[in-house]
């Protein structure tokens, strides 16, 4: 059964890990109650996968392999960009 799950987003500048059902499709990242969260469409019956993410700020130098872009969100006055780390 497909369901939308909400996941906490980790700290800026640090790689964070989430266990998500295999094939989870990330839908969006926004602030909820002042904290960034991610919503994903998941198959509840799928086995869990370990996925790594990193948040970069606008103007930051990115490493050579920074991953796959997921979403942008704002915590004024800052703008943040969430990437899934694909090279770990």
Residue 28 is encoded by which pair of tokens? Answer: 């969006």
Nearest to 21 by CA among 8, 2, 37: 2
Q: pLDDT: is 60 or 88 the higher one?
A: 60
Q: Quick one: CA dihedral 42, 54, 36, 28, positive or negative?
A: negative
pLDDT surpasses 60 at 8: yes
* Overall average pLDDT of the 24-34 stretch: 95
Residue 11 pLDDT: 87
Residue 17 pLDDT: 96
* Overall average pLDDT of the 19-45 stretch: 96
Longest dimension (CA), the chain: 41
- Measure the CA–CA gap between 51 and 77, rounded to whole angstroms: 28
């Amino acid at each position: 059964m497909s369901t939308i799950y909400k996941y906490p987003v980790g700290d800026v500048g640090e790689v964070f890990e989430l266990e998500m059902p295999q094939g989870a499709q990330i839908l969006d990242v926004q602030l909820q109650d002042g904290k960034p969260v991610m919503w994903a469409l998941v198959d509840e019956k799928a086995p869990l996968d370990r996925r790594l993410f990193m948040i970069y700020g606008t103007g930051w130098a990115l490493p050579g392999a920074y991953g796959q872009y997921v979403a942008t969100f704002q915590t004024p006055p800052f703008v943040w960009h969430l990437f899934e780390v694909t090279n770990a």
